[in-house]
């Protein structure tokens, strides 16, 4: 356990910096909107619209997304319930949470993992949107920290998980 103490101290320091300032309510209000874009509804709508409207890549995009999420979700669930890492507000009364998370544990960030699944698949099929897709995924990750429901390492692991699962799905589908 001593090996993770420096990481935990770093995470607490970053969360303290992000959550203990006079503008934290304003930042949290903006972060709520960004975070909500990663709740999953947008992924379904985007995938279905592309499936219907893009005869070139729409079906492949949908298959890649379904496979990537079928890989990502069980891994996410096992990791979250194995690590059982408490959320930031449980570590310190000085770290506020601005939303109620959908589950108990924080590592990895599911919102971040899902956002990076989508960003990676968007980047593969629509490379001209790569910068915007990854910027959006990074903003979702940042919003989770700014809302006080995740530590920085939670979102970093979520990003790696999402990216890796999307790459795995794409390779399983033969690079489509």
> What is the structure's pLDDT at 175?
57
> What is the structure's pLDDT at 99?
80
8 A C-beta contact, residue 11 and residue 157: no
| Residue 144: pLDDT over 60 | yes
Answer yes or no: 21 catalytic. Answer: no
| Residue 54: pLDDT over 80 | yes
| Rounded average pLDDT over 128-154 | 95
Q: Which residue has the higher pLDDT, 29 or 110?
A: 110
Q: Give residue 114's pLDDT band: very low, low, confident or very high (50, 70, 90).
A: very high
128-157 residues labelled b (16+ CB within 10 A) or e (exposed): eeeeebbebbbbbbbbbbbbbbbbbbbbbb
> What is the structure's pLDDT at 3?
62
Cα–Cα distance measured from residue 57 to residue 82, given in angstroms and rounded to the nearest whole number: 37
Catalytic residue among 80, 85, 144, 150: 150
Closest CA to 73 of 169, 136, 162: 162
Q: Give residue 95's pLDDT band: very low, low, confident or very high (50, 70, 90).
A: confident
Using a pLDDT cut of 70, give the percent of the chain over it. 97
| Rounded average pLDDT over 82-107 | 84
- Burial group, residue 51, by CB count within 10 angstroms (0-12, 13-18, 19+): middle
Determine the length of the chain.
176
CA distances from 97 to 9, 23, 43, 104, 137 (A): 18, 14, 25, 13, 21
Q: Give residue 4's pLDDT band: very low, low, confident or very high (50, 70, 90).
A: low
Catalytic residue among 80, 85, 87, 111: 111
Answer yes or no: 41 catalytic. Answer: no
| Residue 52: pLDDT over 60 | yes
Tens digit of pLDDT for each residue in 132-141? 999 999 999 9
Tens digit of pLDDT for each residue in 9-48? 888 888 877 777 778 778 888 888 999 899 999 999 999 9
């Amino acid at each position: 356990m001593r090996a993770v103490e420096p990481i935990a101290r770093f995470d607490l320091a970053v969360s303290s910096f992000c959550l203990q300032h006079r503008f934290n309510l304003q930042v949290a209000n903006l972060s709520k909107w960004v975070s909500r874009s990663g709740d999953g509804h947008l992924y379904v709508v985007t995938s279905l619209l592309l499936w219907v409207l893009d005869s070139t890549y729409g079906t492949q995009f949908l298959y890649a997304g379904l496979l990537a999420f079928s890989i990502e979700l069980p891994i996410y669930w096992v990791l979250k319930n194995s690590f059982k890492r408490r959320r930031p507000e449980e570590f310190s009364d000085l770290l506020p949470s601005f939303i109620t998370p959908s589950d108990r544990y924080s590592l990895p960030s599911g919102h971040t993992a899902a956002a990076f699944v989508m960003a990676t698949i968007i980047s593969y099929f629509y490379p001209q949107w790569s910068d915007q897709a990854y910027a959006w995924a990074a903003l979702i990750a940042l919003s989770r920290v700014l809302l006080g429901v995740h530590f920085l390492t939670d979102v970093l692991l979520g990003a790696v998980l999402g990216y890796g699962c999307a790459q795995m799905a794409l390779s399983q589908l033969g690079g489509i």
